[in-house]
Structure 1
């Protein structure tokens, strides 16, 4: 389980679900007993109206609760965080045990600013075994200075958790933590069913309120209370549902959307070995050359050990290219974007059972399947195709298990 770094955030995350449970308990008492049983069935002898509201209420109540539990469990058991590097793991262990000098720990701060310079850095092979990955200007993957590890595509660092999270959307104390790749689908289902649940409560409360006001000229305080709560949470949930749906259709997260208009993605794309750089792009070849053993004197050039002829057969060359401002390499089109998050059929869309397909993506081109922009960039920069390689062919995500193990070693 990964918890928030700040104590106040942890307490808020624990208290808010209790408040929500209290609100739902109050609304359940008002709608079920006060409105349906006492007023419509016993007071007005309208059993049909009471049964209709009860069926709709408990249908959406159960779907709301199940989807809430699904997102809560996902957040607390499989939050989608990536492993930290050895440096960060050692620092965290020292902070827990209190070992090491306090000043030294403060000097180390919370980050290791420079990327690992080892050509055999753990996890690096996970990137250059793909056809394309997000990179820096020098062609190496992005580096997280806090986690001391390479950042997978579409991974963002969460300051609340001090961990990198796959497809991070936002930190939500209402559902118990970070909403990301593993929980976003269930979060959307939860907000959607919350809207429907609140609509039932609003209709029942308004109808009861109007009838009582007309018949007895009395104001029903309980109905007003249920109406106020359901209107507040219903409006909030509706906003979240519409916003999240918009992001899903564009294959974005909240973090992605905030930067979407001004972001430029830099990608390393596989090209044939020996492809020279051009005025439009540079190239990098993996595995990276290794410095020879021994230290170089000041002012001397360090000798570099290149791969053996046998290892050179496994080398891979990448062209380093840039997208235009605002282009999204992972946009598959509205329908495929929707299916990548919500599932492949209507039952998956409605029931909070199966995980999002993107969680277990087997795309051989990249960490996440890329859309038409991938091939458009190859054409735009005139990148040659790799001989003997079919479009879309490549290694599966079996490397990810090895990368996880190497990173946590």
Structure 2
């Protein structure tokens, strides 16, 4: 696990004045991403307040090995660095952006964030989505199996499936409503057309750092070393397509059409103060099998992150109405830790590589105010949500914008955020 150091000092401020009190990007955060400034091509940068620091333009002031890894138009090489080298770069950036003595040398490398375009932070070789939100699994399972919502394997094995890396997109890119086969319960045969039950899923994304060799599992006590950072992730889901196609092999076209992520990589090092003990399992639940049970992970493997989903319809935007909150809840509602996910993924010898993306699965709370999808909130369409305009939503409609946000909070430390993860729905072609 990453250690708490001077970069987390709540008294530390930045000469970039917009960073002081910034809801997402104070100097205690310094997430990494890939951006294009006006008239320029993609390059690596670090977010600081309302600005982005161009790492290549600051190269003479940074650790050579680390800045070389972060000098291209993707962060794959930076993610491949060991934690101590990534941490050294972060500490140097913290010093440069907090000490006024460096302002004259560093300020020319700053760009106004709103003038820049964000890109995917890495070339994603593989994308895997898990299902570790136990309350989501229970809520959804109850709709289909009221007497047995969780399948017998859920509390023994972190359930996951391989998604589609090519359709992962950064925040802000529109989601085109997918076409596909769907079959109504009372229909004799399926039909083909636009999904009528489009939904979002509130997830945390995990960026893989140094990987493991093919055929070489990674034990639980080394799993944290494979994580470079985190983002927000919305695994858009066409529930009607999913209901028809998912048996016997699981999700396919219902989920591979678009996945939205926040473009900033909040580093594992930045989240050190927000580590928490994994919540105890309910009485009677089985203990994790030995390969998934680590003392350090149980003591510090959970994350104190508050997650929120908002919606804003086209009519709300036209009338200047602010987004409406749909749900809010903590990331500690994950039944399995990130280290357990990573360990299980590699337990059969599967090789993880720098830049691979892992989704936690939908994170929901036990009560409706914290549900992570409209499928749960609207009870499968039986209880639509009413928006401030009087519109109702059983599922996401064309023109709707879904916004995910997250804030890591801990007493005695400055809160840090993840930046925007949003997308608007465009009509099916």
Structure with greater Cα Rg: 1
Q: TM-score, normalised by structure 1?
A: 0.25
* TM-score computed with the length of structure 2 as normaliser: 0.24
User: When you count helix as a share of all residues, which structure comes out higher?
Assistant: 1
